[in-house]
Structure 1
């Protein structure tokens, strides 16, 4: 069974999507449609912008989404048996399996980016990558820290990202290093994604998601929140709303997809971060960058 997976924020690079635009009529039409929907020429920034311009919140999330979705739409005989996306990538996955229309998803991604930006400005917050420590130890230490700090991204065994108030994350990093972590590294991000700090963004995005039509998909999506196969549009909607304040259970999602019969993982979109993570989660399955 073929699984298609889609990356999240951080996979962007200057020049992304330019080859698609120049070589595919379908891609060109979708990129131009995106420029109209967003109200600015995101293609100019994607194709020729600096790394700094690409890091702007209003650009980053739609850019990664567009590269992923338009890449999928140019794949011949694109027939996924299952899909999943890491954080933002879940929106790409939902277009790929027919749950969301392209334009609806792009509008939601744009609103999500703005809502997250606003939430980041309320309280100083950050994220940190913790390497070579068991998940349970990381969770237990975070639970003892004053202030908000939680496990946010279960990326692969031995790689967990924590998220929360800056002071609490820094304190947690010190204690995690003392507990034997190989590294506990503050990440260059705008704020504490996938933590309770995103509650204002979750409330704002919930209204937009509720007002959007979700269709019955052609194959299940393995959602970040549950790490299980979901095909019911109402359940998909509910999990998508919860996603902003809940952890990304990527390790568990990939393990479940393999348990359910996935033999080949195809990463669609910028970069190949997920291919690397899948290889670390289970070396016996085929993981390809398409």
Structure 2
């Protein structure tokens, strides 16, 4: 069975999607439509913008979504048996399996990006990558700190991203290094994504999700919140709303897809980050790009 997976924030690069735009009429239509919906020239920033411009949350999230969805929807061989997306990528996955229309998916991603940016301004916060420790050790140390610090991204065995207040992350990094972490590396991000500090954004996005039409998907989406397959619209909505303040259970999602018959994992979108993670989680799986 083929599992199509969609990347999240951080996979962007200058020139992203330009070849597709110039070579595929259907892709060009999606890119031009995105510029109209967003009200600014996202494509110009994707094709020509600086790394600094592309790092802006309002740009990064719609850009990765647009590229990922365009890759999937314009490829004749795209026929998913199951889908999943890492954080932001879950929205791309929901368009790919026809739960959301392209237009509604893009509008939700734009609202998500704006809401997350506002939440970051309310609560200055950050994230850090922790390498070389068991998940339980990281979780216990985070829980022992008298600040907001939580496990945010279970990327693969031995690689867990934590999220929280700036002070909390500093304390956690020192404690985790003392506990034997190979690295405890603060990330260049604007806030504590997938933590309780994103609650203002979760509330904003919840309202938008509830007002959006969701359709019965053509295949199950394995959602970040619980790493379980979902085809029920009410369940998908509930999990999507919870996603902003809950951890991304990517390790567990890939394990669940393999258990359910996923043999080939095909990454749709910029970069090959997810292929690398899949190989660390499930060495027996085949990986490829669309």
TM-score greater than 0.5 by the shorter chain: yes
Counterpart for residue 106 of structure 2: 106
Q: What's 2:250 paired with?
A: 250
CA drift of 1:43 comes to 0.5
| Offset from partner CA, 1:231-290 (integer Å, 9 cap, x none) | 001110000000000000000000000000001000000010000000100111101122
Q: Following TM superposition, by how much is the alpha carbon of 1:78 offset from its aligned partner in structure 2, in angstroms?
A: 1.5
Count the aligned residue pairs.
Answer: 290
CA deviation after TM superposition for structure 1 residue 106, in Å: 0.2
Measure, in 2, the Cα distance between the counterparts of 1:173 and 1:207: 35
Is 1:132 aligned to 2:136, yes or no?
A: no
Q: CA deviation at 1:77?
A: 3.1
CA distance in 2, matches of 1:76, 1:31: 18
CA distance in 2, matches of 1:148, 1:77: 45
SS at match of 2:161: strand
Q: Give the match for residue 205 of structure 2.
A: 205
Q: Does 1:162 align with 2:171?
A: no
The separation in 2 between residues aligned to 1:125 and 1:232, in whole angstroms, is: 34
TM-score, normalised relative to structure 1: 0.99
Query: 2:124, 2:20 → 1: CA distance?
Result: 38
Q: Which runs of 5+ in 1 are unaligned?
A: none
CA distance in 2, matches of 1:110, 1:91: 11
Q: Report 1:190-269 matches (<5 A).
A: 190-269=190-269
Quick one: distance in 2 between partners of 1:277 and 1:202?
A: 27
Gaps of 5+ in 2: none
Structure 1, residues 189-222: CA drift from partner, whole Å, max 9, x if none? 0000000000000000000000000100000000
User: For 2:14 and 2:281, how far apart are their aligned partners in 1?
Assistant: 29
Structure 1 runs of 4+ with >3 Å offset:
none
Q: Which residue does the alignment assign to 1:148?
A: 148
Q: Which residue of 1 aligns with 2:22?
A: 22
Shift of 1:124: 1.8
Pair 1:285 & 2:271 matched: no
- Compute the RMSD of aligned alpha carbons: 0.5
